[in-house]
Amino acid sequence: MSGTGNKEPVVVVVDDDADIRGMLDFALVTAGWRVVGAADGQEALDRLRGGLRPCVVLLDLTMPRMSGSQFVAALRADPRLAATAVVVLSGDGNVSQKAVALGTDGYLSKPLDLDTLYDTVRRFCP
Amino acid sequence: MLCHAGEPRRSVLHKLIDSMPSGVIAADAKGKIVLSNPAALHLLGADPQRLPPDRWCEEMGLHDEDGSPCRPSESPLHRALRGEPLTGVEMLVRARNIVQGTWLSVNGAPLSEDGGGIAVFSDVSARHEAQLFLEAVVENIPDMIFVKDANELRFVRFNRAGEELLGYKRADLIGRNDYDFFTREEADFFTDKDRAVLAGKKLLEIPEEPIHTRELGVRTLHTKKIPILDRDGTPRYLLGISEDITDRKRAEQELAASQARQAREQAAREAAEEAVSIRDDFLSIASHELRGPVTALQFAVQSILRLARKGSLSEQPPHVVLDAVETAERQVRRLAVLIEMLLDVSRIHAGRLRIARTSVDLAQVARDVVRHVREDARRAGSAVNLHAPNPVVGHWDPARLEQLLTNLVDNAIKYGAGKPVDIDVALTGVTARVTVSDQGIGIPAERQPLIFDRFVRVSSAEHFGGLGLGLFIVKRILDALGGTIRVESASQKGTKFTVDLPLGGEETEAEEES
């Protein structure tokens, strides 16, 4: 679901749960953001290396192929992508500690309120 | 020298008597001392011919064998001199102010038919001391010491510890045998051992033998039986030494019981701690699994609500709204399945996994399952191919069969790496066989034996979520239905589960019989 133009800020949603991906898309697009989904870290990394520059990456942790922490490590190792803002969005019980350990720009704990989601995304994508 | 007054000559006999180391005294029928030798004077400490016999007891300090002062004119000496035959009767001579007296062994014989007698006595103090010492040793040993004669096995000796243990005085015991004091079985046991010791002429150790005592109840003895042989090697006596090990044994048993109890408590504590740890892990995993569908549901519902409140819901493309509602509906179903799984674990744990058997077509169940998972499979990019050309009808529980197949197919899709999943249903003899195969990441060989355990997740927790319950529940359902499951898997090649289910014939027969 894309918005009305290429100037709209892009939010990358990385989650292996297609339903969560779909509903994040629904929630963010209807609020005016553009959304690109990825089913795992590898797919997201490929999109970023392909030139996509999101204002924020909403990142799940537990995923097949490439997990959230592996994605962050690969991102930080790539000078072109190291500055990308990443917010962990996970149902893991220790999400706050894990986010701090990964050095991400924020974290959200599933499940969460739509307003909390919007507030967080707005910090990175005005 | 100390001859009868008026005897003019000294005969050879008199010289002999005077030179003897034993004391000799003779009295005539009237009690008059007619002869005594120097040894008698030496041993008695006074001259018997000068001191009237009725004062001997007091003046010479004569005592009976038991050490008590003799009654006047009743010492063994007096009795011998009255003509009483005596052999080896012992007495003590201890004058006033003298601590240690002299023990005499007295022999007596009549002197003539008219009366009178002769007493011959010698110093046996050394032997007496040795005997007293030995008796004191035996008496004070805290173990029961007994001696039986070798022929009739009657008690001839007993010490104090033996008296206290058995509850009888030695006067009651001496001269009797085991059958006078113990039950027949015990007496038989003791006597058999005695005979074996005497026949074998060897020490016998009985580590534990029970014995009924008179006052202390049943005690346990550790007994050694030793044969006492004469010079010819013939057994004469049987020596027994018995230690009462009842208290020690009880203490050992109590210690062992206490150690066993501590070990049990420790194991229970560890099991409880492990159970708590497993439960904590499980609750953490379960809450993680529940968060996924709740999150999607919340986004869907709140987004629609927000649009509706703004009045802009109708501006959305209809398929977008429909998609959100369908997603919400799917999350509700996911949650219901998860909750059902959790309840199943609870039921299995309580042993209440109920099976309601009825006639079921397994092929039809498989078709239903494939229909239900189609959407998930599509999202995962996997095609699900069912090969079930013929009905396979058995006596099973349709709901449990669907759950079983769903869990297997869900796993195949989840770990199938987007490649096709194949399901085969067929009848082989009296058994239904279902195989579910994927071409996904596979299960490492070392993990394969664990996959049917509770809370075991084969894959890394970093990449795959899940409760770790699907295969556990599958296995328990099969246990209840009498079926089996086996797995073949190779890393990055795929996994194949083969389920064999008896058609439920035994059940049917049982029903027919009843």
Strand-strand pairing, B358-361 and B218-229: unpaired
| Contact call for B296 and A17, based on CB within 8 A | yes
Work out the pLDDT band at A7, boundaries 50, 70, 90.
low
Task: Kindly state the helix (H) or strand (E) to which residue B434 belongs, with its residue range.
Answer: strand B431-437
Q: B425 vs chain A: nearest CA distance in angstroms?
A: 30
Please name which of B237, B223, B225 lies closest in space to residue B153, comparing C-alpha atoms.
Answer: B237
List strand residue ranges (DSSP E) for B37-114, in order: 62-63, 86-93, 102-112
Radius of gyration of chain B (CA): 53
Q: Which residues pair with B23 in a beta bridge?
A: B121
Q: Which residues pair with B144 in a beta bridge?
A: B242
| Contact call for B464 and A23, based on CB within 8 A | no
Using CB atoms within 10 A of its CB, is residue B208 exposed (0-12), middle (13-18) or buried (19+)? Answer: exposed
Between the CA atoms of B142, B235, B173 and B213, what dihedral angle is there, to the nearest 10 degrees?
60
Structure tokens at B312: 């802009």
Task: Kindly state the helix (H) or strand (E) to which residue B156 belongs, with its residue range.
Answer: strand B155-158
Q: A25 vs chain B: nearest CA distance in angstroms?
A: 9
Phi, psi (degrees; rounded to nearest 5) at A36: -120, 125
| Contact call for B323 and A22, based on CB within 8 A | yes
Name which residue leads in pLDDT, B453 or A117.
A117
Which chain B residues are closer than 8 Å to A69 by Cβ? 462
User: Which residue out of A20, A63, A118 would a mutagenesis test of the B interface target, given it has the greatest number of B Cβ atoms within 10 Å?
Assistant: A20
| Contact call for A24 and B293, based on CB within 8 A | no
pLDDT of A4 above 50: no
Q: What is the pTM of this model?
A: 0.55
- Assign residue B85 a region (left: φ > 0; alpha: ψ between -120 and 50; beta: otherwise): beta
What pLDDT is recorded for position B514? 28
| Contact call for A23 and B294, based on CB within 8 A | no
What pLDDT is recorded for position B274? 84
Nearest to A111 among B298, B462, B463 (CB): B298
What pLDDT is recorded for position B149? 95
Give the integer Cα–Cα distance in Å for B220 and B158: 19
What pLDDT is recorded for position A5? 40
Map residue B104 onto helix, strand or coil: strand
Give the integer Cα–Cα distance in Å for B14 and B1: 8
Please name which of B442, B426, B448, B373 lies closest in space to residue B403, comparing C-alpha atoms.
Answer: B373
Please name which of B66, B62, B107, B115 lies closest in space to residue B89, comparing C-alpha atoms.
Answer: B107
**pLDDT, tens only, A48-62:** 999 999 999 999 999
Nearest to A111 among B294, B417, B464 (CB): B294
Are the CB atoms for B162 and B142 separated by under 8 Å? no
> With helix as H, strand as E and coil as C, how does chain A read?
CCCCCCCCCEEEEECCCHHHHHHHHHHHHCCCCEEEEECCHHHHHHHHHCCCCCCEEEECCCCCCCCHHHHHHHHHHCCCCCCCCEEEEECCCCHHHHHHHHCCCEEEECCCCHHHHHHHHHHHCC
Give the integer Cα–Cα distance in Å for B284 and B279: 8
Instruction: Provide DSSP, B269-280.
Output: HHHHHHHHHHHH
A14 reaches B (C-beta below 8 A): no
- CA triple B150-B170-B199, angle to 5 deg: 15
Instruction: List, for chain B, all residue ranges whose pLDDT scores fall below the cut of 50.
Output: 1, 6, 506-514
Map residue B514 onto helix, strand or coil: coil
User: Which residue out of B291, B304, B414, B464 would a mutagenesis test of the A interface target, given it has the greatest number of A Cβ atoms within 10 Å?
Assistant: B291
Are the CB atoms for B171 and B183 separated by under 8 Å? no
What pLDDT is recorded for position B280? 79
Total Cβ atoms within 10 A of residue B210: 13
Phi, psi (degrees; rounded to nearest 5) at B236: -110, -40
* ipTM exceeds 0.85, yes or no: yes
Are the CB atoms for A11 and A22 separated by under 8 Å? no
What pLDDT is recorded for position B104? 93
- CA triple B479-B484-B489, angle to 5 deg: 130
Q: Which amino acid is located at A23 in the chain?
A: M
Q: B310 vs chain A: nearest CA distance in angstroms?
A: 11
| Contact call for B463 and A69, based on CB within 8 A | no
**pLDDT, tens only, A20-42:** 999 999 999 999 999 999 999 99
Strand-strand pairing, B494-502 and B218-229: unpaired
Which chain B residues are closer than 8 Å to A22 by Cβ? 296, 323-324, 327
What pLDDT is recorded for position B117? 93
Q: A117 vs chain B: nearest CA distance in angstroms?
A: 9
| Contact call for B299 and A93, based on CB within 8 A | no
Map residue B387 onto helix, strand or coil: strand
Give the integer Cα–Cα distance in Å for B69 and B21: 25
Nearest to A91 among B292, B323, B327 (CB): B292
pLDDT of A122 above 80: yes
**pLDDT, tens only, B196-221:** 999 999 999 999 999 999 999 999 99
| Contact call for A22 and B327, based on CB within 8 A | yes
| Contact call for B379 and A18, based on CB within 8 A | yes
Sign of the C-alpha dihedral, residues B106, B107, B111, B116?
positive
Are the CB atoms for B39 and B23 separated by under 8 Å? yes
